[in-house]
């Protein structure tokens, strides 16, 4: 099978209605090989803030190459192909997107779901973990547990401590503009700030968690993550710190490869395949998949 055919094989696009005229764009990559152990749970991948689905091409290919059925989506009111504008992004809207996709995948497959969530989406996933019976386990990638502290580090200013009236019209987060006041209202009213709500949510959940950290991450404090995750003895908890890595693991090809292997190993471990090493696609296949998905993303944007 050539790399181009592998990239196109089993790839499909769907649109999920959310309410009104809003829709979530969902990409599915079906398994590229038979796992050999029967049906496995599907994987839902939620990208980090400012990331589109095509940014997760390599991870999806690694997972599909090891027998997983992989689903990705663009969050509502975010960059990407789903409905809405980035200016209107809120954490609660992001959680709605995640819950909608996870519930749909579970209904369609008749299975519980592995969830892989990066950065800011991980904070949403910790809440979903406490609220959803269909999330079997969670794998976080440089996952945020203290939203206020992370935003203060990213922005260089603690807007959460400001009064509503003193906020600027917009705040720029990683090059993306978000309306500050609606975001401020959402994080305060729905208790997204601080690490205590995240810890409480984890205390209410029972599912296994694997947290993948970046050793040189300046935005997510490893000590806070460990403190939140180990607040209660969990049935299955894994914390992996990748050396030589910053918050955006995709910037470094070696770190990205280590990340893909670690995520696959964690997901396979949850399926009872602890003695199996993940199979890796060729570099050419990853490049072909990335190019193919970038074209799909651009074509989708042009068509909107």
Crossing angle of the two packed helices 147-155 and 120-131, in degrees rounded to 10 = 170
Span of 34-38, 40-44, 92-96, 101-105 with lowest mean pLDDT? 34-38
**pLDDT surpasses 70 at 34:** no
The fold of the 3-145+192-303 domain, in CATH, is Rossmann fold (3.40.50)
pLDDT of residue 7: 55
Given a contact cutoff of 8 angstroms between Cβ atoms, the answer to whether 228 and 145 are in contact is yes
Can you give the length of the chain in residues?
Answer: 304
> What is the pLDDT averaged over residues 151-166?
86
Residue 10's pLDDT band, with cuts at 50, 70 and 90, is: confident
Pairwise CA distance, residues 294 & 258, whole Å: 23
pLDDT of residue 297: 83
pLDDT of residue 11: 84
**pLDDT surpasses 80 at 191:** yes
**Catalytic residue list:** 119, 217, 247
* pLDDT, tens digit, 9 for 90 and up, residues 169-190: 888 888 889 999 999 999 999 9
> What is the pLDDT averaged over residues 71-91?
94
pLDDT of residue 220: 93
- Other CB atoms within 10 A of residue 38 CB: 8
**pLDDT surpasses 60 at 302:** no
* pLDDT, tens digit, 9 for 90 and up, residues 215-225: 888 899 999 99
* pLDDT, tens digit, 9 for 90 and up, residues 233-255: 666 789 998 887 888 877 778 88
**pLDDT surpasses 80 at 9:** no
What lies within 8 Å, CB to CB, of 114 at 6+ separation is 41, 42, 43, 44, 68, 136, 137, 139, 267, 270
**pLDDT surpasses 50 at 303:** no
Domain boundaries, given as residue ranges, for the chain = 3-145+192-303
**pLDDT surpasses 50 at 157:** yes
Residue 94's pLDDT band, with cuts at 50, 70 and 90, is: very high
**pLDDT surpasses 80 at 266:** yes
- Other CB atoms within 10 A of residue 4 CB: 14
pLDDT of residue 4: 40
Residue 38's pLDDT band, with cuts at 50, 70 and 90, is: low
> What is the pLDDT averaged over residues 252-275?
89
> What is the pLDDT averaged over residues 147-153?
92
Span of 44-53, 205-214, 243-252, 263-272 with lowest mean pLDDT? 243-252
> What is the pLDDT averaged over residues 211-218?
90
> What Rg value do the Cα atoms of the chain yield, rounded?
18
Structure-token pair, residue 118: 């990066």
What lies within 8 Å, CB to CB, of 167 at 6+ separation is 159, 180, 181, 184
């Amino acid at each position: 099978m050539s790399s181009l055919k592998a990239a196109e094989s089993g790839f499909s696009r769907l649109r999920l209605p959310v309410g009104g005229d809003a829709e979530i764009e969902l990409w599915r990559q079906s398994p590229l090989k038979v796992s050999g152990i029967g049906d496995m749970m599907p994987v839902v991948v939620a990208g980090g803030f400012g990331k589109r689905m095509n940014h997760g091409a390599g991870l999806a290919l690694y997972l599909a190459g090891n027998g997983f059925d992989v689903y990705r989506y663009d969050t509502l009111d975010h960059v990407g192909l789903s409905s809405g504008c980035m200016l209107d992004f809120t954490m609660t809207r992001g959680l709605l997107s995640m819950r909608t996709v996870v519930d749909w995948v579970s209904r369609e497959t008749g299975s519980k779901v592995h969830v892989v969530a990066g950065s800011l989406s991980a904070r949403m996933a910790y809440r979903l973990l406490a609220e959803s019976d269909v999330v079997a386990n969670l794998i976080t990638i440089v996952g945020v547990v203290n939203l206020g502290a992370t935003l203060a580090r990213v922005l260089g200013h603690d807007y959460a401590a400001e009064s509503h009236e003193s906020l600027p019209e917009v705040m720029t987060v990683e090059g993306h503009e978000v309306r500050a006041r609606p975001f401020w209202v959402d994080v305060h009213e729905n208790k997204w700030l601080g690490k205590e709500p995240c810890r409480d949510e984890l205390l209410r959940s029972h599912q296994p968690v694997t947290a993948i950290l970046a050793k040189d991450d300046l935005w997510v404090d490893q000590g806070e993550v460990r403190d939140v995750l180990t607040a209660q003895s969990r049935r299955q908890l894994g914390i992996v710190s990748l050396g030589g890595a910053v918050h955006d693991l995709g910037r470094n090809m070696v770190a990205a490869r280590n990340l893909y292997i670690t995520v696959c190993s964690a997901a396979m471990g949850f399926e009872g395949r602890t003695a199996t090493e993940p199979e890796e696609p060729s570099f050419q296949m990853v490049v072909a998949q990335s190019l193919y998905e970038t074209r799909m993303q651009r074509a989708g944007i042009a068509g909107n």
